[in-house]
Structure 1
Amino acid sequence: MRVIPSEISNSTGSQAERSVFAALKEIPDAQSVALHSVHLPRHRTKRVGEIDFVVITPDILLFIEVKGGRVSQRDGKWYYGPPGREDGPKESPFAQASTGMHAFERKIATLIGDLRDQGIPSGYLVITTDIDLAPTTDFEPEQYLGRKAYDGGRGLAQGIERATRFWLGRNRWARTPVPSSVRNKMLAAIRPDFDLVPNLQSRLTDLDVAFERLTNEQMDRLDELESNHRLIWTGGAGTGKTFLAAEAARRKSGTRSVLFTCASSTLARHMTRILADDAITVLPFDRLDQIKHRTFDQLIVDEAQDLMTFDSLGVLDELVAGGLEKGQWIFMLDQNNQVLAPHTYDPQAWDYLLTLGTVYGPMKRNCRNTVQIVKQVQLYTGADLGVASAGEGEPARFVDVRDAQNEASLLDCYVDTLVQEDVSPRDITLLSVSGDWETSSARLSRHASRIQRFTDVVGSERVKHRLTWSSITDFKGHESHIVCLIDLEPEHLEGRLDALYVAWTRARAQLWIACRPNVRKALTRLGAAALQRNGALR
């Protein structure tokens, strides 16, 4: 069944609604449409009413009210939620469904005409996903789907069919099937709630939902790899390696001591907050001497391409029980580093590691970057980021600037536009190619006094609704909804393809690039070189 919107917003906190949303999408019915969270601005008893789901089928207009968790009834009053935190007394879910249905019918009648005159039947179904209500005089069995019958969503289609038969018996004036033209009129009347051109913040939310779904799918792969004690997991930027490394650390910490390390000190600080567990030690590689006399049951190395030398492997060998040869470890590695920054990568060390572990990858699902960003990076660097799966976005914006002052002015205009589209400044990161705050164009911005330095706030609770400034090096392993690349001079692109790769792949939704004089020419040369490496030019 088609569901509108196609992805549930991460602002939907009800796990019961999320379950029903997913179950509706699984119903093999090409003719019906379900709409989630339909607002009723003229509800009879509430300032703003809401129907959980409205389902338009050839046979009926069905309203679904969903309740999750504990539901109880005392002295004719209904209460929702756990003891001590109950919400109530309130009307029954059946009364809620009924009043919502009638309010909706009145609303839609003003748009397409009276439903009864057109022979359109309607009814409602109440679903409690986690409990079974005892039979009462409040409802007929066909109007209700409890935990057992719902069966985690598997019984939803049958419940809808049963409710449809019941309500068709009550709507004897119904003329079914309802013509598709009439159903389309109903859909068109409701859909403006969903199909207004979304502002940028809503699109960012949709990308977040897609990211959560994709990383959860990749996380399931960990179950398949539990039997591999020495694992090398490869994938380009944005394929979820750090997410999976963190989940692996959590799982392993249940039965053993875990060391999580990486080359980046800012990434290590971030992961320290995420992996707050006594069994997990998180340290950047340059501070491992603090624990040189300890050994750990499990070693996890993120961004391992930055540590792919025999000296680094020797340090790690001493810290894992059994050493690298017999111990238990996971190395997360970006294979693009071999092309982009060969001076930090020893192929012989890589060959040695290959003899010790099992390789999984390269991971091909990019769940961070939009299609446009993936294509942009591949065009200029030739790097393989996998298949972009997070969704469509906007093309990267290249903006020609004369100097630092002009760059700051145009940056301010862009940030102001984003804020007007309800984007929080905290979702915008200014990535400086020079990495020097004292000479950065960001200091000339009107927002300069409200820009926070990434190194000051990473891994802490002090993040405010402000722009963030960072060097590319410090931001490696992190990400932001919107990245503005600033302080870029032509000489920064000479021999620094890795910096370009890292900077551009930090952006999840939008990429804005300030090009100072001759930067465009340098980028054109990089693009041609990338095509030549990939055999497109001869």
Structure 2
Amino acid sequence: MAARCIPEQPSFASDAERVVWERLREQLPDDAVLFANRRLTDRDGDCEADLVVAWPDVGLALVEVKGGHVALDVDGRWHQTDRHDDRSVDPVLQAQRCRYALREYLDQHPRWSAGHVRAQHVVAFPWTRVPEDRVTTDCPRWRVLDQDDLAHAARQVAAAVAQVGHERVPDAGDVALLVECLVGRGVSQRELLAGEVDAHETQVDLLTEQQAKVLDYIAALRRVEVRGGAGSGKTWLAVEKARRLAKDKQRVALLSYSRGLAMYLRARCDQLPQRERPAYVGTFHELALTWGAERGPDDDPQYPT
């Protein structure tokens, strides 16, 4: 028994995230899907769910992981302590934001037809023991995975999701549709035989031409902000602009605050000819480290993951 993982071998910002991922991967059934570092967007910008569990006949869980020692003070505020420092964090709010960002994304996706399915947000503290009485109104004990819960992490997640009683439980078809909406789908044999691939390619070519014109229009501008929903072509524009600048022999840095997006940008740029690749592709944080900045904690809540 092992869940399907997307991606199969994720890159994690901390050992805490990897430990929770490994336990869920081992314990979830093979019809469940376990996403890692899933980038989402809401009205306030980008956010990233450390883990997303999609479990047929159970529901969805958005999991925020915090390493180090996590404690709740008398004022109801969470604090995270590691070898670097002690800082205030809000893992519940982070997980909740990802939960609603996912719902908003699905509501707007043209292929999503399942409506609102049962979903819950959960926090995981794999290096911390959380007493039963250390809870808040927005974070009851059942919402927490602590050090002692790792041995039955999947069962704990299922119990947390079951607390949502007013939404439909997703079935295997809903989970498959969720995967399709989040990561896309391949072209089926039927589409190949029907000649629909040519139509897809024509549509992509047309979109690319339109995007290229946008870059032509803004070529003389030194600062441009591009906004758009998921799938509108923002990433394509960024990579293409970086490619054009590099081809013109300019030294280019292609930056992202999201680690997941940075990995994707690297993969895209690796496919470009050597002379058209940016000099640096990665996160803003990593670029600062190459310049000698002091490394901060991986779980810094002020740094978007």
TM-score by length of 1: 0.33
> Which residue matches 1:144?
144
1:416 to 275, 280, 291: 275
SS at match of 1:79: strand
Contact 2:59 2:161 in 1 (8 A): yes
Q: Which residue of 1 is the match for residue 173 of structure 2?
A: 181
Task: Tell which deviates more after alignment, 79-88 or 101-110.
Answer: 79-88
**3-state SS, counterpart of residue 100 of structure 1:** helix
In 1: Cα distance, 2:41 partner to 2:115 partner: 24
1:160 to 150, 157, 160: 157
Measure, in 2, the Cα distance between the counterparts of 1:112 and 1:62: 22
* 1:329-340 map, 5 Å: none
- Distance (Å, rounded) in 2 between the aligned partners of 1:109 and 1:162: 25
In structure 1, what is the Cα distance between the partners aligned to 2:279 and 2:183?
21
Q: Give the Cα separation in 2 of the matches to 1:64 and 1:198.
A: 22
* Inter-partner Cα distance in structure 2 for 1:423 and 1:113: 32
Larger Rg: 1
2:96 partner letter: S
Query: Is residue 65–residue 97 contact of structure 1 (8 Å, CA) maintained in 2?
Result: yes
Q: How far apart are the structure 1 equivalents of 2:9 and 2:269?
A: 12
Q: Which structure 2 segments of 5+ residues have no match?
A: 185-229, 231-259, 283-289, 292-305
Contact kept? 2:135, 2:141, Cα under 8 Å: no
Post-superposition Cα deviations, 1:156-188, rounded to whole Å, max 9, x if no partner, equal 122123223333xx32x42x3x24333222112
Residues in 2 aligned to 1:421 and 1:29: alpha-carbon distance in whole angstroms? 43
Higher relative contact order (CA 8 A, sep 6+): 2
Cα distance in 1 for partners of 2:14, 2:83 equals 18
Is residue 17–residue 52 contact of structure 1 (8 Å, CA) maintained in 2?
Answer: yes
Letter paired with 1:53: L
Deviations 1:236-257 (A, max 9, x none): xxxxxxxxxxxxxxxxxxxxxx
Q: Which residue of 1 aligns with 2:85?
A: 85
Question: Which whole-Å CA distance do the structure 2 matches of 1:423 and 1:99 have between them?
Answer: 28
- CA distances 1:313-345 after superposition (whole Å, capped 9, x unpaired): xxxxxxxxxxxxxxxxxxxxxxxxxxxxxxxxx
Say if 1:8 and 1:21, in contact at 8 Å, map to a contact too: no
Q: How many residues align?
A: 202
* Structural mapping, 1:43-122, within 5 Å: 43-44=43-44, 47-58=45-56, 59-74=58-73, 75-82=75-82, 85-88=85-88, 90-91=89-90, 93-112=91-110, 118=115, 120-122=117-119
The alpha-carbon distance between structure 1 residues 30 and 203, as it changes in their structure 2 partners (threshold 3 A), is: farther
The more displaced of 67-76 and 28-37 is: 67-76
Structure 1 counterpart of 2:149, one-letter code: A
Tell me, in whole angstroms, the C-alpha distance in 1 between the residues paired with 2:273 and 2:120.
Answer: 49
Residues 148 and 198 of structure 1: CA distance in aligned 2, closer, same or farther (over 3 Å): closer
Q: Which amino acid aligns with 2:72?
A: Q
Q: Is the 8 A contact 2:41 2:101 kept in 1?
A: no
Find the aligned partners of 2:268 and 2:26 in 1 and give their Cα distance.
24
Which residue of 1 is the match for residue 9 of structure 2?
A: 7
- Answer yes or no: is 1:191 the counterpart of 2:191: no
Q: Which amino acid aligns with 1:61?
A: L
The answer to whether the 8 Å contact 1:43/1:100 transfers is no
Q: Structure 1 residues 25 and 202, CA, compared in 2 at 3 Å: closer, same or farther?
A: farther
Q: How many Å apart are 1:415 and its aligned residue?
A: 3.6
1:49-75 CA distances to partner (integer Å, 9 max, x unpaired)?
Answer: 111111111120111111111223333
Q: Give the CA deviation at 1:85.
A: 1.6
Note closer, same or farther for the CA distance 1:119–1:202 as it changes in structure 2 (3 Å cut). Answer: closer
Given that 2:68 and 2:128 are in contact with CA atoms closer than 8 Å, whether structure 1 keeps it comes out as yes
* Aligned residues of 2:126 and 2:146 also touching (Cα < 8 A): yes
Residues 95 and 121, structure 2, Cα contact 8 Å, conserved in 1 = yes
For residue 155 of structure 1, what is the amino acid of its counterpart? H
Conservation of the 8 A alpha-carbon contact between 1:50 and 1:100: yes
Note the C-alpha offset of 1:17: 0.4
Secondary structure of the corresponding residue to residue 163 of structure 2: helix
How far, CA to CA, are the matches of 2:279 and 2:174 in structure 1? 35
Query: Using the alignment, how far apart are the partners of 2:273 and 2:105 within structure 1?
Result: 40
Task: Please state how far the C-alpha of 1:130 moved relative to its aligned partner.
Answer: 0.6
CA distance in 2, matches of 1:414, 1:121: 46
Root-mean-square deviation (CA), in Å?
3.6
Label 1:203 to 1:147 Cα distance change in 2 as closer, same or farther (>3 A).
farther
Output the CA distance in 2 between the equivalents of 1:96 and 1:8.
Answer: 20
Q: Which runs of 5+ in 1 are unaligned?
A: 206-393, 395-412, 425-462, 465-538
SS in 2 for 1:53: strand
Contact kept, 8 Å, 1:62 with 1:124, in 2: the verdict is yes
Deviation at 1:79, TM superposition (A): 2.2
Shift of 1:119: 5.4
TM-score, normalized by length of structure 2? 0.56
SS at match of 2:53: strand
Secondary structure at the residue paired with 2:85? coil
Retained in 1: the 8 A contact 2:69–2:81? yes
Q: Which amino acid aligns with 1:149?
A: D
